[in-house]
Structures are given as C-alpha cells and as structure tokens.
Amino acid sequence: MGDRTGAAIETLEYVARSPTRVRILETLAAEGAVSRDALRAEVDVVRTTLQRNLDGLGERGLLRERDRRYELTSAGALATSAVAKTLDRVDAMVRLRPVLERIPAIELDFDLEGLVDATVVESTTANPYAPIEYHAASLSDAEHVRAVLPAAAAKPLETSREALESGAVFELLVTESVAETLRTEPSVADTFAAMADAESLSVAVVADEVPFYLGIVDDAVQIGVHDENGLPTALLESTDTRVREWAVDRFEALERRATAMDGAE
C-alpha cells in the first residue's frame, strides 16, 4: 500500500506541477494521436521543453510514440481524467476558500461536491460590503425567506421590509444579541419596528451559537461568514438540491428549539 501510494503521489505531482504536462495530456485526450509539431503549436513551448516533458510522461507509462505521433496509453487516459477532476476540485476549493476556511468541516455535514458550482461574493478593499449588498439584492424579489442571522445589517433589513410589503414570507432565527440589536440599535430598530407586525414575518430566538449566516432564499441557499470583528467577509450561494436539503434540515432543527421573540410573534 505504501509503495503504491508513493508512486501515485509522485505521478500526480509530476503531472500537476507543470501546466505544460497537463496541456499535453489534455490535447492527446481530446485529439487522439498527435504529431510533435502539432503538439508544440498547441502547447506553445520550445522544442527542448516539449521533448523533455514527452519523455517524462512516456517514462511513467502515460503516453507512447508510434509512427512519429504521440498518443495516450490506457494508463494515461485514466490519469488524465483523474488529474482533470482533481484540478477542477482544487480550483473550486480555491474559489470557495473565503467562505469554507472560516467554517469547521463538521458544520457542513453534506456532500461538498454540491458547492462546486456555487457563486462566491467576497468582501474587497474596493467594496467591503459586497456580500451584504448581494444578500440584500437577493431579498428584493424573494417570495419565501428562511434565515439564521448571526448579525443584523441595515440594508438587508430595509430590503426585507419592502419584500414583506410585496407579500413575501420571512422566517427569521436570531441570537439574543441580534434580537437586542433589532430592538435598540438606531440603524435598524425603526425599520424592524415597522415590519414587526407583518403577518408574514416570524422571528424566533435561538440559544445556540450561530457561527455563520444561513439563508434559504426561495430555491437558493446562502452561507455567509464574518471576521473576528463581525464584519462580513464572504458569501456563497448554491442551488444544489443536496445543499438545500441540508439547509432546510438545519433551519428546522434550530427552529424547533427556538422561542418567539417578544414583539414579533
């Protein structure tokens, strides 16, 4: 097992650490047998670099030369498929990292493959409130919103009030500290008071820690994270069925343990 794993790691490392090698394998996978000159034009490297990489891939049994043309071996076809999938998943991880790096894996107990196509909105120096703005915009035409809130912000709350007036249904779960903010913080208290009597709004308080924002906005699931100072850093949005099932289960589990917020029953 150890030797086999070592060989696999060495082969993966050899292929993946060079974009040229990956491109060679992808070209052969797509086009079949290819001449060296055609490969050089496709990969766009000098002849000596191309030949060195062809030799290395051949030594590892991933391709072979026949009749002055190069083609994948069956081992090479299998490796190319595996490397492509690995790179796709690593690329997704890098894209999702602003959110996922702030959430322990135990919190997201669903198949993370469901997040591969998720949209990610990150806070930047140019627009530090980009996640909040995206979240608020998504509420403007929502019909049914269920959300677990670790914080309250003025823009999403104002958009929620307008959506309620248009007939949307909102179910909110908040912590005690967020409930207090909604009651007393000048930037949000008036807006919340104006929407608190709406029949289509329910607000309940959870005793559990809320480590990240969770929203189910119609068919989409949003997961948002913040920094140590409570400032939003990133938001992801997914429409994957597996992610939505997990989000609904998590929301309903918290809802069963929640108590109605005073003045918002």
- Which of 88, 111, 130 marks a domain boundary? 88
Residue 170: alpha-carbon gap to chain centroid: 24
Is 169 a domain residue? yes
Looking at the structure, tell me whether residues 41 and 115 fall in a common domain.
no
Going residue by residue through the chain (265 aa), what tens digit of pLDDT does each one get?
A: 445 578 888 898 999 999 999 999 999 999 999 999 999 999 999 999 999 999 999 999 999 999 999 999 999 999 999 999 989 989 999 999 999 999 999 999 999 999 999 999 999 999 999 999 999 999 999 999 999 999 999 999 999 999 999 999 999 999 999 999 999 999 999 999 999 889 999 999 999 889 999 999 999 999 999 988 778 999 999 999 999 999 999 999 999 999 998 755 4
Looking at the structure, tell me whether residues 126 and 74 fall in a common domain.
no
CATH number of the domain enclosing 131: 3.30.870.10
The residues, ordered by sequence, that sit 6+ positions from 259 with a Cβ below 8 Å of its Cβ are 204, 205
For residue 223, what are the domain limits?
102-260
Q: Kindly write down the DSSP assignment for every residue of 132-147, as one continuous string.
A: HHHHHHHHTT-SEEEE
* In contact, 7 and 65? CB cutoff 8 Å: no
Spatial distance between the Cα atoms of 22 and 35, rounded to a whole number of angstroms: 17
Looking at the structure, tell me whether residues 155 and 57 fall in a common domain.
no
- Which of 37, 62, 88 marks a domain boundary? 88
Looking at the structure, tell me whether residues 161 and 230 fall in a common domain.
yes
Looking at the structure, tell me whether residues 167 and 248 fall in a common domain.
yes
Looking at the structure, tell me whether residues 157 and 72 fall in a common domain.
no
User: 256 by DSSP, 3-state: which?
Assistant: helix
Is 93 a domain residue? no
Residue 83 tokens read as: 């490397």
Q: Give the number of domains in the chain.
A: 2
Prediction pTM value: 0.83
CATH number of the domain enclosing 32: 1.10.10.10
Looking at the structure, tell me whether residues 157 and 237 fall in a common domain.
yes
* In contact, 182 and 192? CB cutoff 8 Å: yes
User: 224 by DSSP, 3-state: which?
Assistant: strand
* In contact, 169 and 198? CB cutoff 8 Å: no
Looking at the structure, tell me whether residues 211 and 247 fall in a common domain.
yes
Q: For the chain, list the strands marked E by DSSP.
A: 34-35, 63-66, 69-72, 119-122, 144-149, 169-174, 201-205, 213-217, 220-226, 232-238, 259-260
